[in-house]
A and B are shown apart, each in its own frame.
Chain A
Amino acid sequence: AQSVTQPDIHITVSEGASLELRCNYSYGATPYLFWYVQSPGQGLQLLLKYFSGDTLVQGIKGFEAEFKRSQSSFNLRKPSVHWSDAAEYFCAVGAQDTGRRALTFGSGTRLQVQP
């Protein structure tokens, strides 16, 4: 069965600084990978997704993520963080060839942005 680990529960960065949120997955074949963002009191919104092809994917709000098969990772990055990026971020994995029909989510990383 697939699983997702987000090692960092809480990260604080200064506004304008770069950001990297870590995500490691466990799955035997090529996974379908997603990053979602949840602003306080809101539902989850898709930031970006990886299915195949170029391992560096671009998303909304200036975010990007890189799929590294050798490290089983799909880390999220942003070159310069804005105060509005403060939110909780979830990595998720889907799989086509298993009986599971839903995504498996990590436990999330809460991002705090300091002025």
Chain B
Amino acid sequence: NAGVTQTPKFRILKIGQSMTLQCTQDMNHNYMYWYRQDPGMGLKLIYYSVGAGITDKGEVPNGYNVSRSTTEDFPLRLELAAPSQTSVYFCASSLAGSTDTQYFGPGTRLTVL
């Protein structure tokens, strides 16, 4: 039981490049989330999903896209990377919604130069 896994662990992008951050969970959780963590700012919700085929925006969705074609996978897409997207990205999952424990992946540290 691996829990929530994220790849890659680290990535450096140039301005304007695109990339996809991968997230997979093996706990059969309905809810999945993407957060970004900036120093001193806590975690900000980018997108979340309540099940396969259903996604919704969080607090800071601009510049990102998501899809949820299966229960297990919830990739985050950056289309045109900007320096403001330099951050640490965490994927999380939970069985229920905001009243349930969220399980976090180890994070992806992204730098945009």
Contact = CB atoms under 8 A, between A and B. Distances in A.
Interface of A: 9, 32, 34, 36, 41-46, 49, 51, 90, 94-96, 98, 100-103, 105-108
Q: Which 10 A-B pairs have the closest CB atoms?
A: A94-B98, A43-B104, A107-B42, A101-B97, A44-B104, A105-B43, A32-B99, A105-B42, A43-B106, A94-B99
Given A101-B48, A101-B56, A42 B98 contact: no
B41 A102 contact: no
Contacts, number: 63
Given A94-B98, A102-B97, A43 B105 contact: yes
B104 to A, nearest CB: 4
Contacts of B56: 101
A103 B98 CA distance: 5
Given A43-B104, A101-B31, A102-B33, A90 B43 contact: yes
